[in-house]
Amino acid sequence: MNIGIVINTITFEARELINTAAKYFPDVKIELFKNDDFKFDITDDNGFKTDVDVFLQRSISMTRAVYTSFILEGYGYRVVSSHDTLSITEDKLKMTSHLKRHHVPTPRTMIAFTKETAMDAIHDLEYPVIIKPVSGSWGRLVAMLENDRAATAVLEDREELGTVYHKIYYLQDFVHKPGRSVDQYIDGDTVGRDIRAFVIGDEVASAMYRYEVPNDFRSNVTLGGRAEAYHITPELENIALKAARAVKGEIVGVDLMESDKGLVVVEVNGSPQFQGIMKSTGINIPKRILEYIIRTTKR
């Protein structure tokens, strides 16, 4: 079987997939496709020819990932993650709506398009409120608004400095994580955590807690959040798989929080990194990915 990996640059994930294929799957040939080198005639059915059986999409640039998955699928190739999954997950507004339509529990979320209606929505939600750009990752520009003064400042920044996408206001109830009160955030004494579940096909391959970055409410590993193995429970498995299906995802990262009403899904990542989860759980994620891809791809 020939597996193509679409990349911008060689990441930890791409390297691990190549090394794992060499070690465990001698019949698999891996070919790298740098999206910088692509040139497509999208008006010609034969505009792109290769003997690759399936593509793994690992571009760091989400915009390029969405487009190259779309184009390759147009030529008849299977791509994981698909254009459908990536175009839903790259946009938090669409992602949250899809989760809601599939009855996956999420924090209450409001959308507004002007600073005035955004302020009204913030008052509907009640402080503290989380504001996020609809498109973004690694916790960038995800902020906690604690009062009118902070909210006015952030909304004005977005209005004056932001692109058109920063003016789509995505506002969300703050989820009180276990062992946490808002006062503790203000004091800067942080212990809260989220859960990341790594879904491969119909299974949660592994899961971890991600503890908050000191003096922050965010726990992204890229920001310095500490990871620790999580024992997968039936509740987690059920919700994470439902969330993956809601975005038509095959290999996705599902971020959850333990709210007082049970687990809620805050986001689904269509192109999840796996260095942190491999280190904290010891599960061989690239091997599981390759097994899944080989099992589910027709030659």
Cβ 246 vs Cβ 102: under 8 Å: yes
**Residues from 132 through 151 that contact ligand ADP (CB under 6 A):** 132, 136-140, 142
Nearer to Mg ion, 117 or 222 (CB): 222
**Residues from 216 through 275 that contact Mg ion (CB under 5 A):** 255, 267
Interface residue with ligand ADP among 33, 55, 169, 174 (CB under 6 A) is 174
Nearer to ligand ADP, 4 or 270 (CB): 270
In the block, tokens 């504001």 appear at: 131
| Residue 57 touching ligand ADP (CB under 6 A) | no
Nearer to Mg ion, 16 or 194 (CB): 194
- Interaction pattern, residues 199-238, with ligand ADP; x per rule: CB under 6 A: ------------------xxxx------------------
- Its sign, for the CA torsion 173, 178, 183, 186, is negative
**3-class DSSP state of 130:** strand
Alpha helices in the chain, H assignment, sequence order: 12-24, 62-74, 83-89, 92-101, 115-125, 148-161, 182-187, 234-246, 275-281, 285-296
| Residue 267 touching ligand ADP (CB under 6 A) | yes
| Residue 255 touching ligand ADP (CB under 6 A) | yes
- Interaction pattern, residues 77-116, with ligand ADP; x per rule: CB under 6 A: ------------------------------x---------
Provide the 10 A C-beta neighbour count for residue 61. Answer: 14
Q: Residue 235: exposed, middle, or buried by beta-carbon count in 10 A (0-12, 13-18, 19+)?
A: exposed
Nearer to Mg ion, 72 or 221 (CB): 221
Rg (CA), the chain: 20
- Interaction pattern, residues 23-62, with Mg ion; x per rule: CB under 5 A: ----------------------------------------
Minimum separation from the CB atom of position 181 to Mg ion (A): 23
Query: Which of Mg ion, ligand ADP, none has residue 180 at its interface (CB below 5 to 8 Å by kind)?
Result: none
Helices 12-24 and 285-296: angle between axes, nearest 10 degrees:
70
Determine the Cα–Cα distance for residues 122 and 129; give it in Å rounded to an integer.
7
Nearer to Mg ion, 258 or 267 (CB): 267
Contacting residues for 242 by C-beta, under 8 A, at least 6 apart? 102, 103, 104
In terms of Cα–Cα distance, which of 181, 236, 184, 235 is closest to 208?
236
Nearer to ligand ADP, 16 or 255 (CB): 255
**Which residues contact ligand ADP (rule: CB under 6 A)?**
107, 130, 132, 136-140, 142, 172-175, 194, 217-220, 255, 266-267
